[in-house]
Each structure stands twice: as C-alpha cells, then as structure tokens.
Structure 1
Amino acid sequence: MSHSTEDSDRRDFLRRMLGISGMAAMTVISPSAFASTAVLVKGVHLSESGGKTRVIFDLSGPVQHSLFTLSHPDRVVIDFDNARAAGAMRFASSPLVRDIRHAARGRSDLRVVLDLKADADASSFLVKPGRGSRNYQVVVDLSAVSVGKPQPVITAAQAQPQRPLRDVVICIDPGHGGKDPGAIGKRGTYEKTVVLDMARRLEALINREPGMQAFMTRKSDYFVTLRGRLAKARKHRADLFVSIHADASPYRYPKGSTVYVLSEHGASSEAARLLAERQNDVDRVAGVNLSNKDNLVASVLVDLAQSATREASFKLGDKLKGSIDRVIRMHSNTVERASFVVLKSPDIPSALVETAFISNPAEERRLRTPRFRANMAGALLGGVKDYFEHHAPPGTIFAERGRVLHEFG
C-alpha cells in the first residue's frame, strides 16, 4: 500500500451489554462447493435434551442437503446431494422418532426418511470436524408440536417474538481505486487492480459459506474516500471490516505480508472526533445516538465500544495472520498497530492486510498471478471463519453453531 495516500487519513458490543439477542430454530443449507466423489453417510445416532430430539448424521465430508416435513403419516425427509449410505442406518426408537429408512434418489443422491410418532418441527445445519467430532455432521433437531393440550402460562417477555438467526456480515475493502492507483510496481502493476481481484475472490468465497455474507466498499475501479468506506460498512451493519492492500517500500528487498489493527493513538484521536461532532449527530456508536448524551456519558459509551472493538480487532488480526502465513511468509510476525483511517470504526472489528510488497520484483510477479491472488483470498476466508467460530455475535448462525457444539459436542 502507498502509505502516503492512506495514512492521512461493535455496534454489537453495546447491544450485548443490554442483553439484546435472538435465538430461533434454523434450517441451514450447507456449502455449495464440494468434492466430485460421493459423500458417505457413515452412521446416525440420536440424543435427547430438554424434551427435544436430535438426529446426527456422521459424514465423510461436507454435503449439500435439504429438509422438509410430511403429514399423514408424520415424517421428516432429508435429501443429501451426491451422497450414499455406507451401510444400514439403525437406532433405538425414541419418544418422537419411530424408525429410519433410506434409499437412493436419482443417480447420485440419497434420501433419508425419519418416521415420526407425532407431528414435529424440524431444522437442520452442518457441523464441520472439531470440538468433539472427527466427522462432518448434519444435525437435525426435532420438537414435537403439541395440539389440543393446555398451554403453559408465559410471561410477557417470553411472549416476545424471537428474531430469526442471521448471517454474519463482512465488509471487504479493496484499497485505493479510480484516481488513486495506490502503489505501482516496477512492471507497471497497479495496487488498486490486484487488491480488487483478491477482494472479488474473497467475496465469492464468503458468499458460498453458510451463515456468512459479504459486500465490498467498491466493486470496480472507482474512487471511494476513506470515511466513505467506513460509512458503507456501518450502512450494511457489518460485523467485520477487512481492508486489502499491497505494500510498497522505497527499497526492493522488503517482502512478506503484514496485518494491521488500530493503534491506541488512532483510537484516541477518533474518540475525540466523535465527541466533538456528536452535537451534529454525525456518528452513532453501536446504534446509540451520541448527540443527546452529556460529555461524560458520551465519553464512556465511546470508550466502552472502542475497548471491546480494539480487543476483537486484535483477535481478528491474529487469526488472519495465522492463516496468511500458510500462503506467504509474514513480513512482521506480530499484528502491527497503526492509525489508518479505515480501521477507526468504533464498533466494527477491523483489520488491514498488506498482502505482499508490490515494490519487491519477486512479490510483484506473485501478485500478478491468479493462483497467488486465489490463495490469498482463501487464506483471508480461513482467518475470518476462524474468528467467527470463536467470537460470533449473538443471534447469528455461527453463534448458534457454537452453542450447539458446546451443549451436545
């Protein structure tokens, strides 16, 4: 990145403090990119918890699946794409599930039917290996539907509608653009061009992941101000902000990748700006309007949000660094801190990645290759996923997966 161009320039945290979260039954469709060979359904087992039945299918790999229910008689149908059963599926009868049967569907798919003893609500999701399981798993949750039975008395709070689980939202920021080319390599490689390609690849990868959604601050070669990039992230209610760049140096020998998060000085200056401008309602922190708060309250709100966001940003940066290091050696073995404007959102964990040195001839050649840009996009995806698997916002599909793994794993 050309530092002379950029250097000048969790809303969720406070919501969690206020206890605002949502939980609902979910049906998640699994990833869309899979191996060509058929996935094996290796086994199935049941568990009971809190009056609900959980049916767990152990798989040899990730699989796309769909689920629906039928009546008269009551049953749940799960269709696995490009899959086959490794053997017979058996389990002891449960209070809700009477039997299980399966058969090939079409030329390559597998249909599994759960025969029920009563009508039930059903949802499903995919769990990848880890946290107690060596296999991919499709988990089907069943809850009997009570008909004609007296309903328990519930409180007003319990009667509130539950919010549906949502995707985590990632803002991808390709540096520079338009009249601002960023750094330019000796072979005429423009930073703005290679980082846009990496951003597009990362966006496509993220949008293929269940429970994740991405958008970019710019989709083609046009200029967006630094503050404009932050505004787009806040408009889309982003949970993370990842800015992609290519480093530059006056010398030819520096090489490798670096991950930056906001420095303490950058946070302090941004806090001062927010507090100075709050009378005009220029900025909100975690959705809270600062313009009607006195100096002390506003200062505390900003400080709380920034502290949580800076900690989360460092965790994000650490996950990104560990993933990137498998693609290209790190220029810095630590997560660095800087005052880049694009890192200054007080309530969105943010990181800036210098993917390689465009001023280094060997790394410029790598940046020009689709293979390296694809590998870097994959590494960024890995870091983002790793972060959310440990620090997902409440009310998201990722957070529910973590809760399920903790309770049943």
Structure 2
Amino acid sequence: MIKYYFSTLLSLTLCLICVFATTAAEANTVTAVRIWPADVYTRITIEAEKPILYKMTVLKDPERVVVDVEDIDLNTVIKALGEKVSESDPYIAKIRVANFKPKVVRLVVDLKSEVKPAIFTLAPAGDYKHRLVLDIYPTKDPLMAMLDQRDGTEPATDSTASKNTAQAVTTAPLIEVPPATATNNTVPEVKVEQGAKPVTNAGNVVETVPQVNPPPVAMPPVKEVIENKPTTKGLRQITIAIDAGHGGEDPGAMGATGSHEKEITLAIAKKLKAKIDEDPNMRGVLTRDGDYFIPLHMRVIKARKLQADLFISIHADAFTNPAARGSSVFALSEKGATSASARYLAKKENESDLIGGVSLNVKDPLLAKTLLDLSQTATINDSLKLGKAVLGNIGEINKLHKNHVEQAGFAVLKSPDIPSILVETAFISNPDEERRLNDEAYQDKLVASILAGVRKYFSTNPALAKTKLALD
C-alpha cells in the first residue's frame, strides 16, 4: 500500500513537472506589427498574445535603437516588420530583425538622424491584444522653440526640460552593433559595457534607468503656425484649433462598409482649415495632419500653446443600432453628463488614449496645469454659445440627433481658457449617413455650416486680446 502511494505521488509529480515545463517552453506569439510614420513622430507597434518583455538601448555613430524582445518566437509576422518601413519615413532608414539567442528576437532600428525614443507596453484594449510601442521623436521640436522665442522664454533644452519619465532614453554608447550593409542583414552578438543597464520591463532593471526628458510635444508644421496673414485693419487674427478625432493606432468607429472614423474626421478637418484660411482675419491649425495618434491632453496643450481662440473637435458617432442617425454638438460639463447617451459617448471617446496608446510613465507637467481650473464657468458658457450656433447651422443640412448642445466630461474639451466643442458630424454606423460622410460635396456643406456657426458666435462674442499662457 505504501509502495503504491509513493508510486502514485511520483507519477503526479512528474505530470506536474511536465505541465509546467511545457507551459514555460511556450514562447509568446507576435500576432501583428505596424508602423505609423509621420513628421511629428513615427510609431512602431508589436502586438502579441501575452505581455511583452523587452530591453532597449540607444546607439550612436551611426544612430540606432536596439530592442531585444524576450521569450518570443521569430515568426513570419515579426520578420515582416522591416518590410513595412517606408522610404519617406522621416526617421527610420531600415529595421533588421533576427534571433539574438534562443527565444530572444533582436530589432535593430537604423535611423536617419539623432532621435529621442520612448518605449512602453499596453494592456489589451479595444480589438488589440498586448502591445509593445516604440515611439521615435525628433530630438528638438522646431515649432516649440520658435513659440518659446516668440513668447520671450528660453527654448527647451535637455537641461531645462522636465525629467519625469523612465522610459525615454538618452543616446549613450552602451553596446556595439555593426551598421547595416548590403551583405550584413543579420543581428550579431553585442558587447555591453560593464555595469550598463538598458531600458527594460524585465525584472527590476527599469528602476535604475536615469530619469530623462519626456518626448517633445508633437506640434503642427511650423509654416502653418508661424506665418501671419495680412488682416483687416484694426482686427486681430483669430486662431481656431481643429482637432481630427482618433488617428493612427486608434481608428475610431467603423462604418458598415468599412469606413474608418479617423479618415473621415481628418478629411473634414482639412477642409475646415482650408475654408477658415480663406478669411484674412482667421487661421486654422490642425492638431494632426496625418494618420498618427495624438493623446487627448496633448491636443489641448497644442491649442493652448498656439493661443487658440476656439477648439473644434471633429468626430463621427456610432451606435449598435444602425438606424441611429443625426448630428450632435457637445461641450464640457462640470457637474456630470446631461444625458445617459452623452455620458456613454464621453466615456467611449475618453478611451481613445487606451486604444491609441499612451505611456502611463510620462508625467507631463503641462497636463496638470491644463486640468487645474475647470471651475471657469465662463469658458463653458462660451462653449455652449459656440455649440448652439454651430448646431443650428448643421441642422440646416442634416437631421439633428438632439436639438440642443449636450454636455459631458470629454477629456479633449478640458481647456480652461478656450471655448471648446466636439462635433459628432453624423452616425458612421448608419449606412446612409456613412455614405454621406464619405461624399466630398456633403463634407463641403458640413464645413460651411460649422464655419457659419463660428462666424455667428463671433458676431456676438468678439475675440479678446490674448495674453501669454502660464504653461511653463
């Protein structure tokens, strides 16, 4: 009996060992890779079944970023990452992918110039699984420097900027990797200097990485912001920030025939900017001018840095019932949403950061100041006036979902000193409205109605002189 007991116990133990050994041997699987090139920054995304472990090091002469992805198989998906690099990418010249050692895949990102990378992981959100995100930023933002000079402040430098993120990395010769050549497409073993610790989320190494500058604020092209047009004598030029909702990793809502909200909002935003720029007393500035993601709070910061008079965020609504239709306009609320549908929509739009991908390690000092004084009811009242004027004009070209401006806690509307509205142009989930949203003639009518509402607002609420914003 004792012999049988020990024999059974031994068998169970061996079975458990086999189970754990099999589990441990199962490497993570990459399911998708994406690259989002843009002038403001380029994003590389690796998506996998399980949380991704990584180590990153930045090299000079030539400029490279090396990322070791641990406990992962070199499958055809991750091998294809290099093929996704565009020749027009402003920062990335080439990406080489190979096994560094068993279950460790090495990515060598050959760069066109010195950059400031930021790396972080994201938990599953929306349709995405676990993600590793590598953002490649320029080391200096020319627009921010010019704005600082215009304001009479010292341009931000590595020594004066905030130092609050452990995931952005300074360039340091930590390891040696031969540059890519016509015959050198493998990733060789590297030599790590004594005591050098690359940025990693494996173990506790990341805690020892020196705190360095957060990535720069991605801003619109310099030319469109700095150039001032001649204005009518005695009038100050009005600046209107136009925000195309979603972008990049965050597609927004999807229509019945496959239309993406991010593409429709960008098309409408560009048309609105063009129409605004036709007026010598106005200029439009886009928060994004391409298919890339900008965090919600950064959209607010952009508008404030540019001393915008108004902020208009363009979206296309969606609902589970395809019969839902109509346009809506929203403003910020201090005291909760004005309806259950407004609360639902604000929650959905505020989840954009989770889907688009924002590092929780970046503590931007501007963010706190952006959210400081939400009790300024005067700004919200002006937003309601603007919203009412815009909604009335949109009602002339499309059915209104609600015939009054609704309010909720939209993160993108939280500027304490700029009247801000969010325009849900129509329901992209409604097949008929989706078709209209993709029609350029309808987009033109929509833009004209929004601009007519803006003009009506300013006819009774003249723009005031702008003073330097206390954002530093």
> TM-score, normalized by length of structure 2?
0.43
**Which structure would you say has the larger RCO, counting Cα contacts within 8 Å and 6 or more residues apart?**
1
> TM-score, normalized by length of structure 1?
0.49
Task: Name whichever structure is richer in strand by fraction.
Answer: 1
